[in-house]
Amino acid sequence: MGQFRWLTAGESHGKGLTMIVEGLPSGLPLSEADIEPDLVRRQGGYGRGGRMKIEQDHAEIMAGVRHGKTLGSPLALWIQNRDWVNWTEKMAVEPVEAEIERVTRMRPGHADLPGAIKYNFDDVRNVLERASARETAARVAVGAVAKRLLAEFGVVFHSHTLSIADVWAELPEVVDWDAVEADPVRCADTASGEKMVAAINAAKPDGDTVGGEIEVRVSGVPMGLGSHVHWDRKLDGRIAQAVVSINAFKGVSFGSGFEGAHRRGSQVHDVILPIAEWNGLPWRHATNNHGGIEGGTSTGEEIVVRAAVKPIPTLAHPLPSVDLDTGEEVLAHYERSDVCVVPAAGVVAEAMIAAVLADAWLEKFGGDSLQETRSNVERYLAEMLPPRGRRE
């Protein structure tokens, strides 16, 4: 199932992050400059911590591209961790003579306890280094590659912040995406964005954190990605799994989502318009309450995904916890962290959705070269029209 496969490796304070991407067709124009903007976007947003001042993420292409175009072979990417210089002994690959202080005070809400028990560790650092959101830099790099492929076919990605803490945005009818990217919390409503900043500022002196919700919108996806025939081929299921796999994400919905659950069916389902109202695009709907996916398959409407991000669990004023060695009550471990990651979380969600859509795109259209994929797409789009509307 699918052809766009990828893996990441690396720890938060290790030498760096490695990514392998397989399945890209040959002939796709790709450069490090194509990846850079999203890495910068991931590091931004009000409420980020000191680590963002240290790292200046750059993805280096190590293999899979020659003279600016993909070869059809696996793509290898590398992101250096600048903070590694401060951790060379604590995170050394080879055994060290010095006694390294173990982390045993576990953090509620983090992977510390289940990870340590599952892998039989007596040092929680073995868990927190990989469970850290630092790994999302690798995901964003992979997502940027997926976006580059989909951009060849007119697919466009955007995200914005819906809420932080108890502050909700009043969404305009038309979102100014340039303004969103310029806003400190990536909010489409300036007044609400200012209140979100205030909510972050209020939490910081208390040593606390705040979460919120984000929305991702993807336009230009044709009808037919995914499938209704098996549970693991449903596009919304694949997207939901990908999104909630991101650190701190705890819920996902599509279109009207949970709000739609409280309406009558006649108010929710997207009526299919007759051909006279398509405005040059095939198979349009009167509304998009289902967020561009029905029966596990894209409908041709904008894909709209909303997701909930919990407050991150590393608190400057730690919660009560338990020591892994003794089982006795202690204060949880604290390491440098953010107060709010919601603005950056939208960028990571874009990346994961892009990776799923690239996989579904190549599953549907195939092609060992970009030219072959493009030919398959064009033929499919021409055949989507009703029999009387197809070109001879």
DSSP, res 149:
H
Is residue 380 in a domain? yes
Is residue 35 in a domain? no
Rounded Cα gap, residues 261 and 50, in angstroms:
41
Does the pLDDT at position 1 exceed 80?
Answer: no
Is residue 269 in a domain? yes
Does the CA dihedral 274-279-284-285 come out positive or negative? negative
Is residue 166 in a domain? yes
Rounded Cα gap, residues 196 and 185, in angstroms:
7
Is residue 336 in a domain? yes
Burial track 262-294 (b if 16+ CB lie within 10 A, e otherwise):
eeeeeebbbeeeeeeeeeeebbbbeebbbbbbb
pTM: 0.95
Residue where the block lists tokens 């055949």: 383
Q: Is there a contact between 305 and 252 (Cβ–Cβ < 8 Å)?
A: yes
Does the pLDDT at position 392 exceed 50?
Answer: no
Share of the chain above pLDDT 90, in %: 88
Is residue 85 in a domain? no
pLDDT, tens digit (0-9, with 9 covering 90-100), for 231-274:
999 999 999 999 999 999 999 999 999 999 999 999 999 999 99
Range of the domain at 199: 95-389
Mean pLDDT calculated for residue range 213-222: 98
Is residue 76 in a domain? no
pLDDT, tens digit (0-9, with 9 covering 90-100), for 29-74:
999 999 999 999 999 889 876 665 667 899 999 999 999 999 999 9
Pairing, β 212-219 against β 156-164: antiparallel
Query: How many domains is the chain partitioned into structurally?
Result: 1
Is residue 15 in a domain? no
- The domain that holds 381 is classified in CATH as 3.60.150.10
